[in-house]
């Protein structure tokens, strides 16, 4: 796949969210970060797929989807190669089985009917990735492992909220839309409050969390809106994602340095 200069710049702007080559996981704190990123990718792929279906090219959703597919596959293998824990390996194997049919669906031309099916399959993949992340967090044996897990989950929620809005903007009826949205918004806010209260926050992590807090207000305001602007939703979700990804990386470094 050849990327245009504009798309390459976009990926560089997103920092370490993507790993363009096979990664080497060096410690459990990093493994929690990487495993948590897999949760985010499931929701990001749905958001990209939906934007492609709407014919909206803001943020290069086609290139972003292709790169996310590559990253998800690579990260899953890297996590499997890293862990020696039998239960964790078995959990990753569940994700591997769920991933194959999802990857095939993502290659097809987006349709509303396929989007509904894809949402269900990605939901199952999200749950499997979440279980793996929690297993890695437990293996750290540190409080920081749970903080990395929570921070990483914020990345997923930023994409989940945007993806749900995109599905609605495309005209896809989801009887559980309001329930899913309310639960995602509530979890994001509660998790952000917990991260802000973390006693080992640095000046840098606090600044990132406060910026995220301000940007999250946009999503809260969207809850009362009847019209959605996909490009603006995409931009805000990516801003929050970038800041939470940086914060999660910082928490992983704090955790790796702990005795």
- Count other Cβ atoms within 10 Å, centred on residue 121: 17
pLDDT of amino acid 12: 46
Give the span between the Cα atoms of 81 and 23, in whole angstroms.
Answer: 10
pLDDT of amino acid 224: 62
Computed over its alpha carbons, how large is the radius of gyration of the chain? 17
pLDDT of amino acid 227: 67
Q: How does pLDDT run along the chain (259 residues), one tens digit per residue? A: 455 555 444 444 444 565 545 678 999 999 999 999 999 999 999 999 999 999 999 989 999 999 999 999 999 999 999 999 999 999 999 999 999 999 999 999 999 999 999 999 999 999 999 999 999 999 999 999 999 999 999 999 999 999 999 999 899 988 898 899 999 999 999 999 999 999 999 999 999 999 999 999 988 887 666 666 888 888 999 999 999 999 999 999 999 988 7
> How far does CA 143 lie from the centroid of its chain?
22
> Which residues does 138 contact at the CB level (< 8 Å), separation at least 6?
145
Residues 47 and 104 sit within 8 Å (Cβ to Cβ)? no
**Residue 108: half-sphere exposure toward Cβ, Cα within 13 Å:** 13
Instruction: Using the structure block, give the residue that is written with the tokens 């790169």.
Output: 67
pLDDT of amino acid 244: 98
Kindly report the pTM of this predicted structure. 0.90
> How far does CA 74 lie from the centroid of its chain?
15
Q: Which residue, 141, 258, 165, is CA-closest to 220?
A: 165
How close are the terminal C-alpha atoms of the chain, in Å? Answer: 43
Residues 130 and 37 sit within 8 Å (Cβ to Cβ)? no
Task: List the structure tokens of 174.
Answer: 């989801």
- Type and span of the H or E element at 90: helix 86-107
Residues 231 and 56 sit within 8 Å (Cβ to Cβ)? yes
pLDDT of amino acid 1: 46
């Amino acid at each position: 796949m050849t990327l245009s200069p504009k798309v390459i710049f976009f990926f560089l702007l997103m920092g370490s969210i993507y790993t363009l080559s096979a990664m080497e996981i060096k410690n459990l704190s990093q493994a929690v970060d990487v495993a948590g990123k897999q949760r985010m990718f499931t929701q990001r792929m749905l958001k990209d797929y939906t934007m492609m279906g709407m014919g909206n090219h803001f943020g290069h959703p086609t290139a972003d989807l292709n790169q996310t597919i590559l990253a998800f596959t690579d990260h899953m293998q890297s996590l499997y190669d890293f862990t020696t824990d039998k239960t964790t390996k078995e959990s990753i194997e569940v994700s591997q089985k769920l991933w194959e049919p999802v990857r095939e669906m993502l290659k097809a031309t987006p349709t509303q009917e396929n989007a509904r099916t894809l949402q269900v399959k990605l939901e199952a993949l999200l749950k499997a990735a979440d279980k793996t992340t929690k297993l890695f967090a437990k293996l750290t044996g540190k409080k920081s492992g749970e903080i990395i897990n929570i921070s990483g989950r914020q990345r997923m929620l930023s994409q989940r909220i945007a993806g749900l809005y995109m599905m609605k903007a495309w005209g896809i009826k989801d009887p559980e839309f309001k329930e899913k949205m309310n639960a995602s918004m509530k979890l994001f806010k509660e998790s952000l409050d917990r991260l802000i209260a973390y006693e080992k926050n640095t000046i840098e992590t606090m600044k990132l969390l406060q910026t995220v807090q301000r940007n999250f207000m946009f999503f809260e305001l969207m809850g009362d809106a009847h019209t959605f602007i996909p490009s603006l939703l995409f931009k805000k979700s990516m801003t929050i994602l970038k800041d939470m990804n940086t914060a999660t990386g910082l928490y992983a470094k704090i955790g790796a340095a702990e005795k």
